[in-house]
Structure 1
């Protein structure tokens, strides 16, 4: 199981939000490239990047910071936030992003996602962010009436590389991941699921690792890494099922 350390970009800096609130942002590193390099040097096989400003604007806002990250690391980078068109998708893949994450557009225009998966095999992930089980979009500012599972099932045969499932109420709150909802979603799909939101300890990561048989393929960790509650090396080992 893969650890995806999170770099959330706001105003060109590496921040973490509390439950998706842009007004509740804590700056952890003004240099995202150095943060990405530190994660790589600690053994991370992937980097997870979100353009938070872009998620609200509907287009890239922190493009310079993303490109600095790409220049700083050799490991693959997945990117979400504000990627709403085929042009956005193609531009970022051409720039060196290994996997783009489509969130709002997956709800608004599922055919675009399906076409992108067909033309870019293995390079498209769908980000499903849920509040009380319902999909939230536009930087989590709007909550729809469709459930996370129903949206994910629309892409079962499309060739999506992964479904990234975030429980918004757990995100940044350090209250533990929503194992029940994550496991249930993974069991309902053949597409791999990446867990996101709420990880606060190595015990949380070991619990996620036990969902491997359900189809959970990785976990995104943010605030717990920055606060020092979880060290990167230990997190990688925990998700790999290695003893402490």
Structure 2
């Protein structure tokens, strides 16, 4: 099955990732406003009426702040773990809430969405794979360190949104206070360029067609640097840097 993917926004100012087929789609997180989500999808020729559900990775504001208005307006079911919901501050009325549990597949039409645990400083954080028959897309951001869960699923992906949050030298020499630097690089924060690159070099399947480098830090990374690092090892994989200011093009992915 052919799947269509785009990053509507990626960064600490908001995260929202689209995966769909011809009939239906899901959003992984909704951290930008309803209006901006609609605008960006319209510019891409995508319709909000194909979106059938929102899946929530964790409760931080840059992943959930757009949910109340977006889910209420379109009556979208929001799949969220109990731990994340309890720490999110999201309203529990106005739109459908659905329980999310790791390794329990959720079917949205012909899309199968499966969450699995990740390392991040949140109540109950999860990453996702979205499958359309044999085509698999991963959404792997806000990860403190690669773990066996991540490696196992990364190996299955025809395309992936993969966090490359910071350059280690830029973070070390940058203006952030020491405690924040340690939070970012301490194992439950974010993936560095090097950690993401090591995962990519070691575990990228030969059939991976697209890698969208995601959640880059505004202060501690450089999009051109990150793209160059990955492009040296890309083989037949297209390397895209997901912007914190605008949507990416829509990419077609198939097994």
* Fold agreement, TM-score > 0.5: no
Structure showing greater radius of gyration is: 2
Compute the TM-score of the two structures, normalised by the length of structure 2.
0.41
Instruction: Tell which has more relative contact order, 1 or 2 (C-alpha 8 A, sep 6+).
Output: 2
